[in-house]
Structure 1
Amino acid sequence: MESKGSNLIKLLLLVNFSVLCVAQDFDFFYFVQQWPGSYCDTDKSCCYPTTGKPDADFGIHGLWPNYNTGSYPSNCDSSNPFKQSQISDLTSSLQREWPTLACPSGNGIQFWTHEWEKHGTCSESNLNQHAYFAAGLSLKQKANLLQSLTSAGIQPDGQFYSLSSIKGAIKDGTGFTPYIECNVDSSGNSQLYQVYLCVDTSGSDFIECPVFPHGKCGSSIEFPTF
């Protein structure tokens, strides 16, 4: 028979483990922006938001806590669901800078709910819900990817550009080395899809990435129109 003391120790360990699962530490964020022309130019296609076609600019995909090992926490706190009322003052900015392209057409709430509950809750020791989305908006202003690319003569014109020139233009414009993710268009061409930059745990300052995601692009990448 187990003693009351051993049962109490097990209970305390269980409580402590539960707390750790909720308040997980992390090492840095990936700040991920996507090119809408590449999201839409696939066999799956896309649906414009109910607010209308987004601007021909990179849109925020997410701000994702990560570990230096390359793994990441997710869905850290089911007791802290997304609440639209907490970002009411940010909604118009989010619809412009963090738009949804998923089908069926939506107003962004489902997209932001997913991003907060999967990723944002793992950063809540540093950023509450409002601060999390405000941080994403602020980072996008700091890293104007389209300006960095067009300043280097890299235009969203359906032409092909070298991967090295794309990475170089973004590093010159932002000061930090990006990770470039490609997808494949309906014709099988590799195209510029998402750009990852790394951010410190406060969600405010860019840093050099401790680790990059897996995957690679071809040496020549299409930058599709939108």
Structure 2
Amino acid sequence: MKMQFNNVLFLIKFMTMHSLLVLSASQDFDFFYFVQQWPGSYCDTKQGCCYPSTGKPPSDFGIHGLWPNRNDGSYPSNCDSTNPFDVSKISDLTSQMQSEWPTLSCPTNNGLTFWGHEWDKHGTCSESVLNQHDYFATTLSLKNELNLLQALQSAGIQPNGQKYSLSSIKSAITQASGYTPWIECNNDSSGNSQLYQIYLCVNSSASRFIQCPIFPKGTCGSSVEFPKF
């Protein structure tokens, strides 16, 4: 009887350890970067942009992506070629994505290539917590939790082509969200630094914002332009 109990105990321990190993192997990341971009800065470059076939997007920050990342700064990518992007799985989200996750790449297109790239490169690496539909639905939900443009405008930072201090931009977003953002800049056609993308971090289950364990490399100038769109 004692031997049977020991065998059962061993089996429970083995199954628990096996489950933990499977979980750690399948979730090869520690948090997500949630990245939004300002369309005016995407377009105001030497390369320029093309409005999507559905028309000019709203004058608002648009989603770039939800990217699994590791605490050491590395990240997984293109994790599952057997589960490619399938637009039929997000048919109920397409209208919202055209507005909040628009493409600005050329030539003019409907966004499917952009969304497919985000799923294939980043989304497939989050399958342990998010299936294809949930990946896009969760990302849209995160955008609705925090209105970046409103946060900046409330602090007197307007997309009017003027320059603002990088510290004031960070402060406005921190005050609105409770978390420190990372700001990415690009250069306009004249070489001026401009507000391009804003990074916030999300926990590994994609359920809430967190303080970023690590920021990407690169810096903006102390003063950056916020172009019109």
Corresponding residue for residue 75 of structure 2: 72
SS of match in other structure, 1:165: helix
Does 2:210 match 1:207? yes
Aligned residues: CA RMSD: 1.4
Does 2:175 match 1:172? yes
In structure 2, C-alpha distance between the alignment counterparts of 1:29 and 1:153, rounded to whole Å = 29
Find 1:86's aligned residue among 76, 85, 89: 89
Aligned-pair identity in percent equals 74
Per-residue deviation, 1:24: 4.2
Does 2:200 match 1:197? yes
Structure 1 segments unaligned to the other structure (5+ residues): 1-18
Structure 2 segments unaligned to the other structure (5+ residues): 1-21
Corresponding residue for residue 59 of structure 1: 62
Q: What are the superposed Cα offsets for residues 119-167 of structure 1, whole Å, 9 maximum, x if unpaired?
A: 0000001000000000110000012100000000000000000000000
TM-score (norm 2): 0.89
Per-residue deviation, 1:57: 0.1
Does 2:185 match 1:182? yes
Larger Rg computed on CA atoms: 2
How many residues align? The count is 208
In structure 2, C-alpha distance between the alignment counterparts of 1:170 and 1:21, rounded to whole Å = 33
SS of match in other structure, 1:170: helix
Corresponding residue for residue 100 of structure 1: 103
Q: What are the superposed Cα offsets for residues 91-128 of structure 1, whole Å, 9 maximum, x if unpaired?
A: 00000000000001111100000000000000001000
Does 2:41 match 1:33? no
Per-residue deviation, 1:23: 2.9
Corresponding residue for residue 224 of structure 2: 221
In structure 2, C-alpha distance between the alignment counterparts of 1:144 and 1:69, rounded to whole Å = 29
Find 1:145's aligned residue among 144, 148, 156: 148
Amino acid in structure 2 at the alignment position of 1:40 = C
SS of match in other structure, 1:194: strand
Per-residue deviation, 1:25: 1.8
Corresponding residue for residue 46 of structure 2: 43
Asked if structure 2 preserves the Cα contact closer than 8 Å seen for 1:179 and 1:212, the reply is yes
Per-residue deviation, 1:20: 9.4
Does 2:120 match 1:117? yes
Asked if structure 2 preserves the Cα contact closer than 8 Å seen for 1:180 and 1:196, the reply is yes
In structure 2, C-alpha distance between the alignment counterparts of 1:77 and 1:22, rounded to whole Å = 14
Asked if structure 2 preserves the Cα contact closer than 8 Å seen for 1:22 and 1:76, the reply is no
In structure 2, C-alpha distance between the alignment counterparts of 1:86 and 1:23, rounded to whole Å = 22
Does 2:134 match 1:156? no
In structure 2, C-alpha distance between the alignment counterparts of 1:23 and 1:79, rounded to whole Å = 15
Q: What are the superposed Cα offsets for residues 181-219 of structure 1, whole Å, 9 maximum, x if unpaired?
A: 000000110000000000011112000000000000000
Asked if structure 2 preserves the Cα contact closer than 8 Å seen for 1:199 and 1:205, the reply is yes
Asked if structure 2 preserves the Cα contact closer than 8 Å seen for 1:39 and 1:46, the reply is yes
The list of structure 1 runs, each at least 4 consecutive aligned residues, that deviate by more than 2 angstroms after superposition, is 19-24
